[in-house]
Copies of this chain bind each other. A is one copy, B any other.
């Protein structure tokens, strides 16, 4: 019971830092997108396909969060854009302080698009505002269509839900109609895109979403 006030204090402090980040992003014309999902839903692959599709001069940067390893940063750095790994060393989510620290060595006005890949966790990252303009929840069709109802706080704050790995639909018992209904029930305003990074299906629509909202 003693935990609640402290959690609130931590979140209040996070909200304050996130508000500063958001103001900085606005001031410098940086669009910040925060990607949240379960482990292994395909966030890194989606970012790889996205970076591969960008023209070389594009002012895009990536922060990628993991508890351990810098595997994802290594994968993402191959595309020639600035990438920084945030290794949380145990923490189950990114927080605004980690983003502030990671951005410290970059020129704040040199980034038009900042993509943040959160730690793979469908619960905890949703409580931590990172100052993002848009929040994307990625849900792989292998995870089952019931997840929006089971993790409502996460889906409730989504601007976009990317249903990933749709190439696997023939092999898994995933009902797309129910998935869409459950997402709408929790967050009626979220856009929904169906994407496969393997076949490329839906990637144009995703790119368009990233571009139009930049």
Judge whether A124 and B124 touch: CB under 8 Å: yes
Q: Is the CB of B122 within 8 A of A123?
A: no
A69 and B146 contact, CB distance less than 8 A: yes
Contact with B along A108-134 (1 / 0, CB 8 A): 000000000001111110000000000
Q: How far is the CB of A211 from chain B (nearest CB, A)?
A: 28
Q: Which of B68, B124, B144 contacts A40, CB < 8 Å?
A: B144
B2 and A150 within 8 A (CB): no
Number of copies: 2
Nearest CB of chain B from residue A64's CB, rounded to whole Å: 11
Query: Is A10's CB within 8 Å of the partner chain B?
Result: yes
Q: Does A104 contact B (CB under 8 A)?
A: no
Contact in complex: B6, A151 (CB < 8 Å): no
- Docked CA distance A105–B66 (Å): 40
Min CB distance, A13 to chain B, in Å? 10
User: Is the CB of A147 closer than 8 A to any CB of chain B?
Assistant: yes
24 contacts between A and B (CB under 8 A): A3-B10, A6-B6, A38-B40, A39-B122, A39-B150, A40-B140, A40-B144, A66-B150, A67-B123, A67-B150, A67-B151, A67-B153, A68-B152, A69-B146, A69-B150, A71-B150, A92-B123, A120-B122, A120-B150, A123-B124, A124-B124, A140-B142, A142-B165, A168-B168
Chain A residues within 8 Å of B, Cβ to Cβ: 2-3, 6, 9-10, 38-41, 66-69, 71, 90, 92, 119-124, 140, 142-144, 146-147, 149-153, 165, 167-168, 171-172
